Structure 1
């Protein structure tokens, strides 16, 4: 199971690349708190990407799940620097032996300390290219489009992603 945080969904939607989510072989979910943040608040603020994520939920690409109250979720909610949505993503991934899809380094560091597997948005793009869902050029365009929309990727990571994409050509 892939458990999505807000940032990957927002920037894949901004780049019109949510089909990458549809191509993943495991179930793709987002906690209700992420849905509220991305879709409900996003639509209220007039963001077109929010409508794209809502459509992905409506068409079954993504499923909204409610988190179970667990000791881990309670502990994560108390962590400074983690939002309620971040805590829900990590707890859901841990409960269902899933992969938390998040880009924020603090959340990924907490996940590592808790033994929760994480992947980021760039990983999903590389996976889509590797599996032939999109070609390397489309992968580069997706990364660049997300960057143009405000997605953060350090220059070092960007260089590694581009080199990896070039290796698929």
Structure 2
């Protein structure tokens, strides 16, 4: 399976030590060049530790940089160019796009792109046995402490869904 990652999921998974969780799946992990620029180029200039972790994944070849053959047209005022490239690449590969921005996900769904957020990756890790329910709650809390934004209703829904797994 192929997964195309946007900046925010990639950054926060790296911040809490969960990059290995997506690397171990054996899935093809792709990011467009604009995501690389946001995460690694700008991140390294700021001295963000997560940017160095992600760069190492790229050097190892577990995350590959690839730009879409065609652009995702429209919605320029609603979503960032990197999010549009993530969706264009996911549409080309007929695969999953991982984007946390709610508006971008809604637009992706309207345009028949299979869009999920960071929760999806965490749920998949729990199902695989790579992450326990308790670890997932701890990691989510750590992500929030490090600046990841999530609404209280979404977080409650996450906790409820964890119990159902």
Give TM-score scaled by structure 2 length.
0.93
Among 66, 73, 76, which residue is 1:75 paired with? 73
Give the secondary-structure state (helix, strand or coil) at the position aligned to 1:63.
strand
Contact 1:5 1:86 in 2 (8 A): yes
1:2-38: per-residue Cα shift (whole Å, max 9, x none)?
A: 0000000011111111112113342111001100110
Which residue number in structure 1 is paired with residue 67 of structure 2?
A: 66
Which residue number in structure 2 is paired with residue 7 of structure 1?
A: 8
Among 118, 123, 131, which residue is 1:121 paired with? 118
Aligned length: 164
2:96 counterpart of 1:99? yes
1:106-146: per-residue Cα shift (whole Å, max 9, x none)?
A: 11111011100111001111110111011111111111111
Give the secondary-structure state (helix, strand or coil) at the position aligned to 1:67.
coil
In angstroms, what is the RMSD of aligned CA positions?
A: 1.4
Which structure 2 residue ranges, 5 or more long, are not aligned? none
**1:2-151, aligned counterparts within 5 Å?**
2-68=3-69, 70=70, 73=71, 75-76=73-74, 79-151=76-148
Which structure 1 residue ranges, 5 or more long, are not aligned? none
Give TM-score scaled by structure 1 length.
0.91
Q: Distance in 2 between matches of 1:19 and 1:157?
A: 25
Give the Å deviation of 1:166.
3.0
Q: Which runs of 4+ in 1 moved over 6 A?
A: none
Contact 1:21 1:61 in 2 (8 A): no
Give the Å deviation of 1:83.
1.4
